[in-house]
Structure 1
């Protein structure tokens, strides 16, 4: 019995370091894999930053009224637009959930809302990812604007049915669900991601 115990102890003393070495490479491999995964995620985020989408907006008669660009940043999406031939005054603008613009633009669906939140920048349970600040159009019918959507990603616009940018006849009150009482849809453009 003592001999068997001594032999077992001797085998463990000799084989122990070999067993430990077998575990070390596995731990190193795991650490390397985690490091590689983190680097890939960072690279993906950096590649997404700077990606751009465009929407050419037209009115209900099919006449061009301008362009909106959406640029991915590390913090959300920068939205820039230049529009003309829009009635003077304040107008709601939103990103809608369907990339289809057939007058009177109901084909664009509701506001883009993958988070299933309530409508409105002022709503406690809001906002939709597609909710944007109102536009202020001058007497000449022109407006240039910049807006930032920190909770939006370009990938949100690339699902099966796409997305659209829609300008409304009225103002968004920033709180009424589901669309801020913004009224008719007067311009629409399908969002096209640039390759």
Structure 2
């Protein structure tokens, strides 16, 4: 009888927590791949995945190669989905749908109300010039589903030659655009 009581106690106390864990898992709503192409005679390349989840999070994952070893590079969403020129200038400025936010730290690390939606901060390459990316953004209005002013579709993702200093307007003094890819569904 004592053995059955112990089993019942474990079942009653643990199973509800397992059930809660399962129901709170994040559900993927949409995922797109962005091929980053070299610009400004760069030797870099990359493939990035952008995923949108039901809880409003946007996750950016991927790998970029051909960067300078052990270096920081500005990483941003840009306003136009056009990477057709060699300098990636047609990508426009940093994505800033509210036009009232200023350039600042990554939207993944601070409160969105303080900087524009294009700020993804810096990526760090290793000794081989490779950067692994895994960024989670919690800006509820950003989406991959609608073509409204907060949609990331038909925007571009840009890697800059230098570090984003997270303060200089309008672009963080990050230098040339060395990679650019259009975000398409």
Q: Tell me the TM-score normalized by structure 2.
A: 0.70
Query: Is this contact kept in 1: 2:161–2:177, CA < 8 A?
Result: yes
Shift of 1:170: 0.8
Does 2:109 align with 1:109? no
Q: Which whole-Å deviations, capped at 9, do the CAs of 1:95-154 have from their partners, x for residues lacking one?
A: 111111121111100111112211112899631112112111112111111112222222
Match of 2:127 among 134, 139, 159: 139
| CA 1:59–1:96: 2 relative to 1, 3 Å | same
User: Structure 2: where are the runs of 5+ without partners?
Assistant: 1-25
* Structure 1 runs, 4 residues or longer, greater than 6 Å off: 122-125
> Helix, strand or coil: the match of 2:94?
coil
1:59 aligns with 2:41: no
With the length of structure 1 as denominator, give the TM-score of the two structures: 0.67
Q: Distance in 2 between matches of 1:85 and 1:118?
A: 30
2 CA distance for matches of 1:86 and 1:63?
7
Measured after TM superposition, the shift of residue 62 of structure 1 is 8.2
Partner of 1:150: 138
Query: Over alpha carbons, which structure has the higher Rg?
Result: 1
- Cα distance, 1:178–1:51 mapped onto 2, change above 3 Å: same
Cα RMSD over matched residues?
2.3
Distance 2:114 2:93 in 1: 15
Matched residue count: 144
